[in-house]
Amino acid sequence: MSIAVSDKNSAVTQKRSIGAVLWDYLTTVDHMKVAHLYLFGGAFFFILGGIEAVIIRIQLLVPENDFVSAGFYNEIITMHGTTMIFLAAMPLLLGMMNAIMPLQIGARDVAFPFLNSLGVWLFILGGIMLNMSWFFGGAPDAGWTAYAPLSTTSPGHGVDFYAVGLQIAGAGTLMSGINFLVTIINMRAPGMTYMRMPLFTWTTFITSILILFAFPALTVGLFLLMFDRMFGSAFFDVALGGNTIIWQHLFWIFGHPEVYILILPVFGLFSEIFSTFSKKRLFGYTSMVFATMLIAFLGFMVWAHHMFTVGMGPIANTIFSVATMAIAIPTGIKIFNWLATMWGGNVKINSAMLWALGFIPSFTIGGMTGIMVATVAADYQYHDTYFVIAHFHYTIVGGTVMGIFAGLHYWWPKIFGRVLNETLGKITFWTFFIGFHMTFFIQHFLGLMGMPRRYWVFLENQGLDTGNFISSLGALFMSIGVIVFIYNAIYVWLKGEKAAADPWDGRTLEWTTASPPEHYNWKQTPLIRGLDCLWIEKTEGNGKMTPAEPLKDIHMPNNTIIPFIMTLGFFISGFGFIYQTENKLWYIALFGGMAIALLAMLVRSLQDDVGHYITKEELKGEAK
């Protein structure tokens, strides 16, 4: 789609063949194009997961419905959860981080452009692998949490696809996390101290730390699951001396930090939006930074709140319960800081700001029910009912998804070079917002009345009919909202005008680049003189950044196809792993795929690719 950011010769905007564009994206190492890939991939899986959600709601529209069979229903709910968390929400966030974070710190790219491209391909092919299961005898059906022994005994290859697909996609995420950390530590522009970084960069940084320390637990868990299912080990097989609870621990040691991986980036971008559209410095910047750190720190010590009913005993339950409630404190600090940022500000309400305003009450309700389910005695009632479903949709949809929409409306000009249409944006917000509360608010009460989660049907006249009907109706509204958004994106792409560099009168560094930026971002790295650095220059009458260096040759990395080939190797090998249990011939795919990947690594290691320079003359020649 976007061909505006392109190679050296993009100064002359020319129509390029589909093949050339495709090849460009397959080989790109540019952070903005990798971001595009993350966003397209994430959007594709978001729509897929959305369709699965609609199927769930149609099945639960009326009592004892038989729209889908019980077995298929299990596959649908499993794939809905897995897709939305791993293949939609995370990649969309990673896409925005990739696009914006380097721009906010004054870097020309991320620290490891090659790894960046490898990361996005691992995500895309891992996601495709997972969804291949639909065509090869059925999708995983043990829930997105894949608890053993349900997952170890699930027949067919569904759960194998889950284990291998997530392993591949997860490796990509881990790489991105490391990449962002190194970028933020080492590549900040002169003057950009840690405490001058915009909050989105801060939350990207802390989220990356969470990724770095949480994903290994998932990797280990998935390996154990793989060995149990494919190679006859018995880590989770009680009959052979294994222990099923280990899976739950490993999964939630990853899983709880994961929910903060989903929410912290949008905390960051909401902070930017509130401050930009209130024309005020973010209230309590320092406390925001430390609250984020505190949330990350505590986030590692609460995983067992998902396991209160497992039987860990009153002492363990109490410790985890108290630790969990403690997280509400830094979260509350943030909410009040946002409110105080708007207080007395010159508030402008447009679509980005609408999402931000809608987020506050929605997420606060999610936090409140969080405290409720964190209360051990009460959780024996709530656990595994629709109450928990309502809780986490209020946090993930009311927090993460609204945040993604807010961020997309805010940064669309920077990422795609167009401003989204305001009217369509508002229609999207209101339909989605109303639909969201219709769908999930009533689910609190369905849960309190005892409707268990993951059940295929419910019976008539047990007080569940009306609630489920309203909930399904809400899903319709949410779907309309999403469709209008997609229409909006296509509409402005075809009909919209090229966006200005700084359409919102912004405060941070990304608004000093063109919309979309050149692939080297700035001709001269800017000098940073404080927090909200662009705003400082604006108030002092400069209007633009002072360069920190003379105009000189810019060193940029070369495009390469190796990451894609490497990923293809792992992808093929994944199929080998899954099917070698049936026929030893599949070892050819297993070892063949590995060979491709290792060979690609070898080529990469031996090849002396020092990148290319954009010369001073070329930079001068390009019209500003």
Partner 1 sequence: MTENTNTNNQLTDFHRQKNKEEMKRNVISFAMMIVSTIIAFAVVASGVMDRVFAIFLLFILAVAQVAFQFFYFMHMKEKGHAMPAVMIVAGTWAAFLTTFGLIAAVWW
Distance CA 292, CA 288 (A): 6
The mark string for 243-282 relative to partner 1 (x by CB under 8 A, - otherwise) is x-xx--xx--x-----------------------------
Please give the Cα distance from 604 to 562 (Å, whole number): 7
The residue from 215, 303, 412, 433 that contacts partner 1 (CB under 8 A) is: 303
* Nearest distance from C-beta of residue 2 to Cu ion, angstroms: 37
Q: Name residue 333's amino acid.
A: I
**Is residue 360 within the footprint of partner 1 (CB under 8 A)?**
no
User: To the nearest whole angstrom, how small is the minimum distance from the Cβ of residue 268 to partner 1?
Assistant: 19
Tell me the closest approach of the beta carbon of residue 289 to partner 1, in angstroms: 14
Q: How far is 527 from 534, CA to CA, in rounded Å?
A: 10
Shorter beta-carbon distance to ligand HEM: residue 371 or 594: 371
- Closest of 37, 17, 16, 12 to residue 25, by C-alpha: 37
Which of partner 1, ligand HEM, Cu ion, none binds 212 (CB below 5-8 Å, type-dependent)?
partner 1
8 Å CB contact between 36 and 493: no
User: Among 126-134, 190-198, 253-261, 605-613, which window interacts with Cu ion (CB under 5 A)?
Assistant: 253-261
Q: How far is the CB of 615 from ligand HEM (least distance, A)?
A: 47
The answer to whether residues 594 and 577 touch, using CB atoms and an 8 Å cutoff, is: no
Of 9, 17, 186, 346, the one binding partner 1 by CB under 8 A: 186
Residue window 535-564: x/- pattern of binding to Cu ion, with contact defined by CB under 5 A: ------------------------------
Q: How far apart are CA 199 and CA 195, in angstroms?
A: 9
Least distance in angstroms from the C-beta of 619 to partner 1:
24
**Angle (nearest 5°) at CA 260 between 257 and 261:** 85
Q: Which one of ligand HEM, partner 1, Cu ion, none is in contact with 382 (Cβ closer than 5 to 8 A by kind)?
A: ligand HEM
Instruction: Find the shortest distance in angstroms from Cβ 448 to ligand HEM.
Output: 13
Q: Which residues contact 558 (CB under 8 A, 6 or more apart)?
A: 29, 609, 611, 612
Nearest-approach distance from CB 307 to ligand HEM, in angstroms: 8
CB of 432 to ligand HEM, least distance (A): 17
What tokens were used for 614?
A: 């954009």
- The residues with which 580 forms a beta bridge, in sequence order, are none
Candidates 304, 388, 489, 492: give the one binding partner 1 (CB under 8 A): 304
Q: Which stretch binds Cu ion (CB under 5 A): 216-224, 249-257, 285-293, 557-565?
A: 249-257
256 is a contact residue toward Cu ion (CB under 5 A):
yes
Encoding tokens for residue 291?
């609250």
Give the residue closest to Cu ion by C-beta: 256
List Cβ neighbours of 278 (8 Å cut-off, separation of 6 or more): 341, 342, 345, 346, 347, 348
CA distance readout (Å), 233 to 484, 520, 606: 49, 50, 38
Measured from the CB atom, is 142 or 209 closer to partner 1? 209
Gap between the Cα atoms of 268 and 120, Å rounded = 22
Candidate list 168, 181, 189, 353; residue touching partner 1; CB under 8 A: 181
Task: Write the CA distances from 122 to 92, 103, 129, 170, 209, integer angstroms.
Answer: 15, 24, 10, 8, 20
- Dist. CA 138–CA 606, nearest whole Å: 42
- Using rule CB under 5 A, residue 31 touches Cu ion: no
Interaction residues for partner 1, span 429-448 (CB under 8 A): none
Interaction site with ligand HEM (CB under 6 A):
145, 259, 262-263, 305-306, 324, 327-328, 331, 367, 370-371, 373-374, 379, 382-383, 388, 391-392, 395-396, 399-400
Q: How many CB atoms are closer than 10 A to CB 150?
A: 16
Question: Which residue, 19 or 311, is less far from partner 1 as judged by CB?
Answer: 311
* Nearest to 270, CA basis, from 405, 111, 392: 405
For ligand HEM, the closer of residues 57 and 108 by Cβ is: 57
101, 268 Cβ separation under 8 angstroms: no
Task: Specify the DSSP element, H or E, that contains 253.
Answer: helix 245-278
Cβ of residue 339: shortest distance to ligand HEM, in angstroms? 17
C-alpha of 381 from chain center: 31
Number of residues that bind partner 1 (CB under 8 A): 20
Residues 563-591 as b or e (16 or more Cβ within 10 Å = b): bbbbbbbbbbbbbbbbbbeeeeebeebbe
Task: Give the residue with the Cβ less far from ligand HEM, 124 or 148.
Answer: 148
Give the interface with partner 1 as residue ranges (CB under 8 A): 181, 185-186, 209, 212-214, 217, 243, 245-246, 249-250, 253, 300-301, 303-304, 312, 316
Give the interface with Cu ion as residue ranges (CB under 5 A): 256
